[in-house]
């Protein structure tokens, strides 16, 4: 009978494989994916070095490691990703939520906390990261979440159910603001903002696995931002706030677009935690 490795031996093998495949943070990634595949916590994995591994566990671990070595993102392999203070289901139906988007969440919660009953729109909701997180933190809010992809909307519904906020989110399939006829207090969007020409240079974990339509924003990355802002006056009022996640070098151009559409608005470009342009704030 062929013996299986101990937890410590399996952990080291995983680290070696991921290091050789140039996977980011190979030690941490190995521990996270093994804990997931073996149904252990990372603490259990590390404190039981001589613990046994069953043949079924070994097969699951090798399958997950193969996916990582082939460039699949960790969030898709384990099926979830922490975002802000929630844990979201993640798979190929939508973009993996990034820490940069937490800047938008922080500002939205700040400006809407005292609103008696805000109506919020999350345009291009993807997995629902913005919609469900705001629903959790703003219990008096009603939220409309739109996306062009029916598959993404279904994933967002699953996350809303997971967090118990389904009753306050109205999911609608459609392009940008097209499905919305109401007047919105807060319009939030993390739209695709990567230039067409930059797509071939993105990480293979992105190009090979995440949906391309969730990244590409036209020749200069701002096609969807322009379209959204062009239609935004239809669904906003004099006290509405628009929050847009933008590319690190789009600040000046987005400000010009916003000023053209809302000449009387207060407009600010706020940096992310790395000091890069990340959030356009438009107080209509």
Give the domain ranges of the chain: 7-70, 84-283
Cα 179 to Cα 171: distance, rounded to the nearest angstrom: 10
Cα 112 to Cα 76: distance, rounded to the nearest angstrom: 32
Cα 106 to Cα 64: distance, rounded to the nearest angstrom: 34
Q: For the domain with range 84-283, which CATH number is right: 3.30.70.2860, 3.20.20.70, 3.40.1360.10, 3.40.50.150?
A: 3.40.50.150
Full-model pTM: 0.94
With contact defined as beta carbons under 8 Å apart, do 130 and 88 qualify? no
pLDDT for the residue 2: 54
Q: pLDDT tens across 22-70, in order?
A: 999 999 999 999 999 999 899 999 998 888 888 998 999 999 999 999 9
Q: Where are the alpha helices (DSSP H) in 87-140?
A: 102-112, 129-137
Q: pLDDT tens across 162-220, in order?
A: 999 999 999 999 999 999 999 999 999 999 999 988 999 898 899 999 999 999 999 99
């Amino acid at each position: 009978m062929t013996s299986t490795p101990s937890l410590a031996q399996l952990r080291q093998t995983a680290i070696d494989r991921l290091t050789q495949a140039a996977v980011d943070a190979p030690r941490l990634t190995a521990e996270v994916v093994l804990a997931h595949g073996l149904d252990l916590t990372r603490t259990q994995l590390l404190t039981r070095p001589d613990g046994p591994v069953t043949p079924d566990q070994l097969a699951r671990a090798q399958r997950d490691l193969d996916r990582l070595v082939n460039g699949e993102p960790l969030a898709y392999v384990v099926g979830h990703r922490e975002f802000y203070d929630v844990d979201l289901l993640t798979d190929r139906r939508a973009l993996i939520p990034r820490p940069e988007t937490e800047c938008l969440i922080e500002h939205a919660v700040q400006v809407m906390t005292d609103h008696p009953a805000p109506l919020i729109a999350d345009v291009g909701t993807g997995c629902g990261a913005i919609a469900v997180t705001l629903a959790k933190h703003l219990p008096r809010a009603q939220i409309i979440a739109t996306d062009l992809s029916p598959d993404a909307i279904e994933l967002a519904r699953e996350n809303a159910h997971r967090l118990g906020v389904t009753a306050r989110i109205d999911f609608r399939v459609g392009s940008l603001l097209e499905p919305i006829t109401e007047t919105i207090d807060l319009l939030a969007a993390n739209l695709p903002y990567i230039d067409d020409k930059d797509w071939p240079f993105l990480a293979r974990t992105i190009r090979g696995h995440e949906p391309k339509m969730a990244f590409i924003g036209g020749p200069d990355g701002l096609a969807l931002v322009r379209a959204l802002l062009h239609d935004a006056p239809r669904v906003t009022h004099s006290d509405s706030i628009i929050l847009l996640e933008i590319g690190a070098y789009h600040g000046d151009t987005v400000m010009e677009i916003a000023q053209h559409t809302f000449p009387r608005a207060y407009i600010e470009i706020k940096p992310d935690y790395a000091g890069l342009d990340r959030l356009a704030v438009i107080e209509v």
